[in-house]
Amino acid sequence: MATVEELQAQLDKLAAEKDASDKDAEKWKALSRQNEDGKKANAEKAKLADELQAKLDAAEAAKLTEAEKAAKSIADLAKSVEDLKASNAASELSALRSRIGAEKKLPAQFIDRLRGEDAGALTADADAVLEAIGAAKKGNNHVSREGATPNAPKDDDRAFARELFGGGE
């Protein structure tokens, strides 16, 4: 059997091992706490980074949206300018058509029928229309003494009235 001294030595040895073990446990607990604190700090930093990234994405999207709005506005304005140019050209052509028709003394119903994109073409078309109208008028549709009433003898009128109403005889 073991003596008291041997048991005391074993007890001291176990106490020393326990102290060393307790010190290691405390060391590991401290490291664990430190690790947990680091995780919490990292989680907060990650959350903050995500929030900042979301704000950055929203700002970039707003800028992109503003850029898209500006691009659409520019495109709309360009289309409006083209529409106005086309409308102006049509108005100028209509005014030119009316001016040439009036200069050529073309009847009003034929002015809108003139074809051409410039003064020369419109003038040539107006001359052709006038020539066609003149040819139609020169046909066999002339009536001599148009609108004149023949003078009928008055006696014939009286005779007709007597005959019609059965009177006089």
Specify whether the CB–CB gap between 122 and 100 falls below 8 A. Answer: yes
Specify whether the CB–CB gap between 98 and 114 falls below 8 A. Answer: no
pLDDT tens per residue across all 169 residues of the chain: 678 888 899 889 989 988 888 888 888 888 888 888 888 989 999 999 999 999 999 888 888 788 888 888 899 999 999 999 999 988 998 898 888 888 888 888 888 888 888 989 999 999 998 888 876 666 555 566 666 666 655 667 777 878 888 865 5
